[in-house]
Amino acid sequence: MTGLDCIAALKALGEETRLRILRLLFKEPLSVNEISARLKASQYNVSKHLRIMREAGLLEAEKQGKQRLYRVTPELKRAVAMAAGGLLNARKVADTMANKITDMNPGQGFAANLATAFLVNTASYHGLPVSTTHVSVGSLLGIGITTRQAKWRPVLGVLLSWVITLPCAAALSALSYLMLRPR
């Protein structure tokens, strides 16, 4: 199984022992024996939980000698990192979008959300990568331009951040690769 199926992952995480296993495996790869000893659980039960988490795409196993070492998949690590980033920065982004782009009434907010939903769903249907935040800011700006209440200073800051992040990310990833590549 490749990728992370969210529904299967959430079902797999709906059991406390699996969450405890996952906490251990986020720290280091472990075998069934090591997990059983640390959790004071039977190897049978640990194996059952590991199978469920592997089938959900949360874990992968690598054979080492007679044992298998279980580890968290890179997809799950990325998902957790993205969620943490969202939790840490979501309030600032939401505040900017809700209060700093334009003033609007509920009907105008609904129109902006409707436009965002339509554009994001259409782009997704056609396989186009779009940022919901970018589309939403554009929709809010459209309301602000129409009502002549756009607050251009914060909008210019948002636009500048969009223009700067692409080349900065490209340069940073190239530099990281050059520093970390095998020689």
pTM of the model: 0.55
CA angle 133, 136, 139 (to 5 degrees): 155
Find the mean pLDDT for residues 156-178.
92
Query: Torsion angle, CA of 81/83/88/94, rounded to 10 degrees?
Result: 140
Classify residue 80: in a domain, yes or no.
no
Are residues 51 and 110 located together in one domain of the fold?
Answer: no
Are residues 65 and 131 located together in one domain of the fold?
Answer: no
Domain termination site, one of 75, 93, 124: 75
Are residues 106 and 175 located together in one domain of the fold?
Answer: yes
Are residues 150 and 107 located together in one domain of the fold?
Answer: yes
Are residues 122 and 167 located together in one domain of the fold?
Answer: yes
Classify residue 108: in a domain, yes or no.
yes
Classify residue 51: in a domain, yes or no.
yes
Are residues 109 and 55 located together in one domain of the fold?
Answer: no
Task: Convert the pLDDT of each residue in 34-58 to its tens digit.
Answer: 999 999 999 999 999 999 999 998 9
Task: Convert the pLDDT of each residue in 105-132 to its tens digit.
Answer: 999 999 999 999 999 999 999 999 998 8
Which residue, among 80, 21, 29, has the nearest Cα to 52 in the 3D structure? 21
Are residues 69 and 128 located together in one domain of the fold?
Answer: no
For 117, the domain range is: 101-180
Q: Is the pLDDT of residue 4 over 80?
A: no
**What per-residue confidence (pLDDT) applies to 2?**
47
Backbone angles phi, psi at 68, to 5 degrees: -115, 135
Distance CA 135, CA 121 (A): 11
**pLDDT category of residue 146 using cuts at 50, 70 and 90:** very high
Are residues 71 and 114 located together in one domain of the fold?
Answer: no
Domain termination site, one of 75, 90, 122: 75
Are residues 66 and 107 located together in one domain of the fold?
Answer: no
For 131-159, b/e burial (b = at least 16 CB within 10 A) is eeeebbbbbbbbbbeeeeebeeebbeebe
Are residues 71 and 112 located together in one domain of the fold?
Answer: no
Task: Convert the pLDDT of each residue in 61-83 to its tens digit.
Answer: 999 988 999 999 998 888 888 88
Are residues 165 and 107 located together in one domain of the fold?
Answer: yes
Distance CA 130, CA 141 (A): 17
Domain count, the chain: 2
Are residues 173 and 106 located together in one domain of the fold?
Answer: yes
Classify residue 129: in a domain, yes or no.
yes
**What per-residue confidence (pLDDT) applies to 43?**
95
Classify residue 27: in a domain, yes or no.
yes
Classify residue 86: in a domain, yes or no.
no
Q: What's the CATH code of the domain at 33?
A: 1.10.10.10
